[in-house]
Protein backbone atom coordinates (compact mmCIF):
# COMPACT_ATOMS: atom_id res chain seq x y z
CA UNK A 1 0.00 0.00 0.00
CA UNK A 2 2.68 2.49 1.02
CA UNK A 3 4.82 1.53 -1.97
CA UNK A 4 1.95 2.22 -4.37
CA UNK A 5 1.25 5.60 -2.79
CA UNK A 6 4.89 6.70 -2.97
CA UNK A 7 5.19 5.38 -6.53
CA UNK A 8 2.09 7.35 -7.60
CA UNK A 9 3.15 10.59 -5.93
CA UNK A 10 6.93 10.45 -6.40
CA UNK A 11 7.92 8.03 -9.20
CA UNK A 12 11.55 9.20 -9.44
CA UNK A 13 12.04 9.06 -5.68
CA UNK A 14 10.61 5.55 -5.62
CA UNK A 15 13.33 4.38 -8.00
CA UNK A 16 15.99 5.67 -5.58
CA UNK A 17 14.20 4.16 -2.58
CA UNK A 18 13.97 0.76 -4.27
CA UNK A 19 17.62 0.81 -5.35
CA UNK A 20 18.82 1.66 -1.83
CA UNK A 21 16.42 -0.76 -0.13
CA UNK A 22 17.91 -3.58 -2.20
CA UNK A 23 21.36 -2.84 -0.70
CA UNK A 24 20.04 -3.26 2.87
CA UNK A 25 20.09 -6.90 3.98
CA UNK A 26 18.24 -8.72 6.75
CA UNK A 27 20.07 -11.63 8.40
CA UNK A 28 18.58 -14.31 10.67
CA UNK A 29 20.59 -14.91 13.87
CA UNK A 30 19.52 -18.58 13.99
CA UNK A 31 20.28 -19.91 10.51
CA UNK A 32 22.13 -17.03 8.83
CA UNK A 33 19.59 -16.68 5.99
CA UNK A 34 19.81 -13.29 4.26
CA UNK A 35 17.39 -11.38 2.08
CA UNK A 36 17.16 -7.76 1.00
CA UNK A 37 14.80 -5.46 2.85
CA UNK A 38 13.02 -4.78 -0.45
CA UNK A 39 12.46 -8.47 -1.18
CA UNK A 40 11.09 -8.90 2.36
CA UNK A 41 8.46 -6.25 1.61
CA UNK A 42 10.11 -3.33 3.40
CA UNK A 43 11.78 -0.06 2.53
CA UNK A 44 14.89 1.50 4.04
CA UNK A 45 16.08 4.80 2.63
CA UNK A 46 18.89 6.98 3.94
CA UNK A 47 19.33 4.75 6.96
CA UNK A 48 22.47 5.07 9.05
CA UNK A 49 24.24 2.03 10.40
CA UNK A 50 23.04 -1.45 11.23
CA UNK A 51 19.90 -2.00 13.32
CA UNK A 52 18.01 -4.99 14.73
CA UNK A 53 14.33 -5.70 14.06
CA UNK A 54 12.12 -8.36 15.57
CA UNK A 55 10.85 -10.64 12.85
CA UNK A 56 10.32 -14.18 11.58
CA UNK A 57 12.90 -15.79 9.33
CA UNK A 58 11.53 -16.89 5.96
CA UNK A 59 13.90 -19.86 5.90
CA UNK A 60 13.82 -21.45 9.38
CA UNK A 61 10.56 -19.86 10.59
CA UNK A 62 11.97 -18.84 13.98
CA UNK A 63 11.30 -15.44 15.52
CA UNK A 64 14.38 -13.44 16.42
CA UNK A 65 16.17 -10.13 16.22
CA UNK A 66 17.04 -9.86 12.52
CA UNK A 67 20.14 -7.83 11.83
CA UNK A 68 19.59 -5.17 9.16
CA UNK A 69 22.81 -3.92 7.60
CA UNK A 70 23.90 -2.31 4.36
CA UNK A 71 25.78 -4.65 2.03
CA UNK A 72 29.32 -3.44 1.50
CA UNK A 73 29.27 -1.32 4.68
CA UNK A 74 32.60 -1.50 6.56
CA UNK A 75 30.71 -1.53 9.92
CA UNK A 76 29.15 -4.86 8.98
Instruction: Say if CB 26 and CB 36 are below 8 A apart.
Output: yes
Which region among 2-6, 16-20, 30-34 has the lowest average model confidence (pLDDT)?
2-6
Higher pLDDT, 75 or 29: 29
SS3 content of the chain, % helix, strand, coil (to 5): 25, 30, 45
Q: Where are the domains of the chain?
A: 2-70
* Residue 9 pLDDT > 60: yes
Amino acid sequence: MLRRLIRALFPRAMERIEAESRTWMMQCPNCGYETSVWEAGGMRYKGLGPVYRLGRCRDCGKIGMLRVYQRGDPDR
